[in-house]
């Protein structure tokens, strides 16, 4: 069973002392334990004898949240020849009005699994293109970028205008604290027209709904406003489970996918949605209680020189070291949570709410030194293309050109000190 940093002891204690007879809805600690169970639950296709666990799909990418967010850590691209786990391919095509719509046949995401009797939408194949960059001291670094193709498409070709955007699952630690940053504090850091002339703008992804504009802060392009919204979308799109925010029992199948729309689902009866509001709230409560990674000064190592280099190179202009939360605390996410144009190297061409095809949300750096997808493998950036922290930095472009250039110009010992500092966050 994956370990979630620091929550378990407290929760088990809280659950024991609260008395088993007490109803879960009135007990936040039990709701968190319920949420954890739902996060790890392996869903099955309907109809099944365990009605409370069915409704998977009909199309899906994984059977559990924790299949992609294993131990609350990050995902990774597939190894050559392997099917992807914790790596999804999003689709979108320009709508002609500055926005984007999902592929008309395959929907928001390519689901690589289907319930028994149905064909999966397709299989994802990843090829890597290598390039080399030469640093100012003459040393070379190999970089790779993914070329993603969808094979064995079950419903004919993708729309010719459809773009594919591969994404790894981000780590899900400390998200409750990010949710607790007042929107005004994030908006105060935005500089959409670069009024201060530092070459770095920083835009908020403002999501419009009936209630007006909400600040997007979760997801690689900050297209999700809060943890309940991220959770509801994940249940619908990744696992294929209906819920109050995504009532369709068929998840991400489109009107043209009759086989999927008419397949058995876990709705109806007394159960209502496959995931009800209480279950959504419990999962969101669980996510809020996964603690932020603690800073780790590496065995007596002095991280101060690396920290100075981080500031000197301008990393902190986007990777904001600290924010105050609504609860009066101070947190150290190392992100402004704003969108930045990162240049053509990272661009996926896909507009997501207010984010353009080359904009990404500054990735929080806390806990980045804890990344290890198993066997010492690491992968960074939205599609997991960077195999180590230096590669991640060398992909920075656009508004981060100057920061990347100063790392390329550093003497090797300085680069090493910068990386040591990152690993301590």
- In the complex, the residues that contact ligand HEC under the rule CB under 6 A are 39, 61-62, 65, 67-69, 86, 88, 90, 167-170, 172, 175, 200, 218-220, 227, 230-231, 234-235, 238-239, 283, 287, 313-315, 317-319, 340, 342, 346, 360, 362-363, 365, 368, 380-382, 389, 392-393, 396, 399-400, 403, 407, 422
Q: Which is nearer to ligand HEC, 105 or 230 (CB)?
A: 230
Q: How far apart are CA 304 and CA 289, in angstroms?
A: 30
Smallest distance, ligand HEC to C-beta of residue 21, A: 29
Give the CB-side neighbour count of residue 359, counting CA atoms within 13 A. 23
Q: How far apart are CA 231 and CA 243, in angstroms?
A: 10
Q: In 3D, which of 402, 403, 396 has the Cα closest to residue 381?
A: 396
Smallest distance, ligand HEC to C-beta of residue 31, A: 14
Q: How far apart are CA 234 and CA 65, in angstroms?
A: 8
CA atoms 388, 389, 392, 394: torsion sign: negative
The vertex-54 CA angle with 4 and 73, nearest 5°, equals 20
Q: In 3D, which of 5, 151, 164, 133 has the Cα closest to residue 71?
A: 5
Smallest distance, ligand HEC to C-beta of residue 117, A: 21
Q: What is the DSSP string of 355-400?
A: B-TTEEEPPP-TTGGG---STT---BSTTS-BSSHHHHHHT--GGG
Q: How far apart are CA 334 and CA 364, in angstroms?
A: 5
Q: Which is nearer to ligand HEC, 202 or 264 (CB)?
A: 202
Q: How far apart are CA 339 and CA 204, in angstroms?
A: 6
Q: For 253, left (φ over 0), alpha (ψ -120 to 50), or beta?
A: beta
Largest CA distance in the chain: 68
Smallest distance, ligand HEC to C-beta of residue 41, A: 9
Smallest distance, ligand HEC to C-beta of residue 414, A: 11
Q: How far apart are CA 55 and CA 51, in angstroms?
A: 8
Q: How far apart are CA 216 and CA 218, in angstroms?
A: 6
Smallest distance, ligand HEC to C-beta of residue 296, A: 16
Q: Which is nearer to ligand HEC, 161 or 347 (CB)?
A: 347
Q: Which is nearer to ligand HEC, 289 or 319 (CB)?
A: 319
Smallest distance, ligand HEC to C-beta of residue 418, A: 6
Tokens matching residue 300: 């007596």
Tokens matching residue 139: 């040393």
Q: Which is nearer to ligand HEC, 158 or 220 (CB)?
A: 220
Q: Which is nearer to ligand HEC, 169 or 204 (CB)?
A: 169
Residue 18 makes CB contacts below 8 A (sequence gap 6+) with 27, 29, 30
Q: Which is nearer to ligand HEC, 36 or 155 (CB)?
A: 36
Q: Which is nearer to ligand HEC, 18 or 267 (CB)?
A: 267
Q: Which is nearer to ligand HEC, 238 or 252 (CB)?
A: 238
Smallest distance, ligand HEC to C-beta of residue 33, A: 15
- Our CA dihedral for 335, 336, 337, 338, rounded to 10 degrees, sits at -130
Q: Let me know: does 108 contact 99? Beta carbons within 8 Å.
A: no
Q: Which is nearer to ligand HEC, 154 or 318 (CB)?
A: 318
Q: Which is nearer to ligand HEC, 59 or 380 (CB)?
A: 380
CA terminus-to-terminus distance, the chain: 26
- What would the 3-class secondary structure string for 317-351 be? HCCCCCEECCCCCEECCCCCCCEEECCCCCCCCCC
């Amino acid at each position: 069973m994956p370990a979630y940093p620091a929550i378990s002891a407290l929760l088990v204690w809280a659950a024991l002392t609260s008395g088993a007879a007490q109803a879960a809805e009135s007990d936040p600690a039990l709701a968190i334990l319920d949420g954890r169970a739902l996060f790890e639950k392996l869903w099955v296709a309907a109809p099944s004898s365990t009605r409370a666990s069915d409704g998977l799909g009909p199309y899906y990418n994984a059977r559990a949240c924790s299949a992609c967010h294993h131990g609350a850590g990050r995902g990774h691209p597939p190894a050559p020849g392997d099917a992807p786990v914790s790596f999804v391919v999003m689709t979108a095509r320009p709508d002609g009005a500055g926005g984007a719509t999902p592929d008309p046949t395959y929907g928001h995401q390519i689901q690589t699994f289907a319930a028994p009797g149905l064909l999966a939408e397709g299989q994802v194949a990843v090829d890597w293109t290598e390039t080399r960059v030469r640093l100012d001291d003459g040393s070379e670094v190999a970089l790779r970028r993914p070329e993603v193709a969808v094979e064995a498409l079950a419903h004919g070709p993708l729309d010719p205008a459809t773009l594919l955007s591969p994404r790894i699952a981000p780590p899900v630690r400390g998200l409750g604290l990010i949710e607790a940053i007042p929107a005004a504090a994030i908006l105060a850091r935005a500089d959409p027209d670069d009024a201060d002339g530092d070459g770095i703008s920083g835009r908020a992804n403002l999501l419009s709904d009936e209630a007006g504009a909400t600040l997007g802060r979760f997801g690689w392009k900050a297209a999700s406003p809060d943890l309940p919204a991220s959770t509801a979308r994940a249940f619908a799109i990744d696992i294929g489970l209906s819920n109050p925010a995504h009532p369709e029992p068929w998840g991400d199948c489109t009107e043209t996918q009759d086989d999927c729309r008419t397949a058995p689902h876990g709705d109806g009866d007394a159960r209502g949605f496959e995931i009800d509001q209480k279950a959504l709230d419990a999962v969101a409560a669980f996510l809020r209680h996964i603690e932020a990674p603690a800073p780790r000064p590496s065995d007596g190592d002095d991280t101060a020189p690396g920290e100075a280099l981080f500031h000197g190179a301008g990393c902190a202009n986007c990777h904001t070291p600290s924010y105050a939360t609504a609860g009066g605390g101070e947190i150290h996410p190392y992100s402004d949570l704003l969108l930045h144009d990162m240049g053509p190297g990272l661009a996926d061409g896909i507009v997501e709410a207010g984010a353009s095809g080359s904009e990404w949300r500054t990735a929080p750096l806390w806990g980045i030194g804890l990344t290890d997808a198993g066997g010492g493998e690491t992968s960074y950036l939205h599609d997991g293309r960077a195999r180590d922290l230096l590669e991640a930095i060398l992909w920075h472009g656009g508004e981060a050109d100057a920061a990347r250039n100063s790392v390329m110009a550093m003497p090797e010992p300085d680069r090493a000190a910068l990386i040591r500092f990152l690993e301590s966050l």
